[in-house]
Amino acid sequence: MELEAVGLKKLDNYQNFAKAFRFGDYSELMASQQPNNARLKNALDFKKSVFEGEFGRSALRAVLFALYELQKEVNSDEVMEHLRSLVPNYHMRRDDLVAFCQYIARKREHRYPEESSAAGILLALIRNERLG
Count up the domains in the chain and report the number.
2
- 5 and 23, same domain (yes or no): yes
Residues 49, 25: contact at Cβ < 8 Å?
A: no
Which pLDDT tens digit goes with each residue over 39-64? Answer: 999 999 998 887 777 888 899 999 99
Nearest partner of 67 among 116, 113, 129, 106, judged by Cα: 116
Helix (DSSP H) and strand (DSSP E) numbers for the chain: 8, 2
- 70 and 33, same domain (yes or no): no
Q: What's the CA gap between 2 and 39, in Å, rounded?
A: 11
Nearest partner of 69 among 110, 122, 28, 106, judged by Cα: 122
Which pLDDT tens digit goes with each residue over 97-122? Answer: 999 999 999 999 999 999 999 999 99
pTM metric for this prediction: 0.89
- 69 and 118, same domain (yes or no): yes
- Residue 30 structural domain: 1-40
Backbone angles phi, psi at 126, to 5 degrees: -65, -45
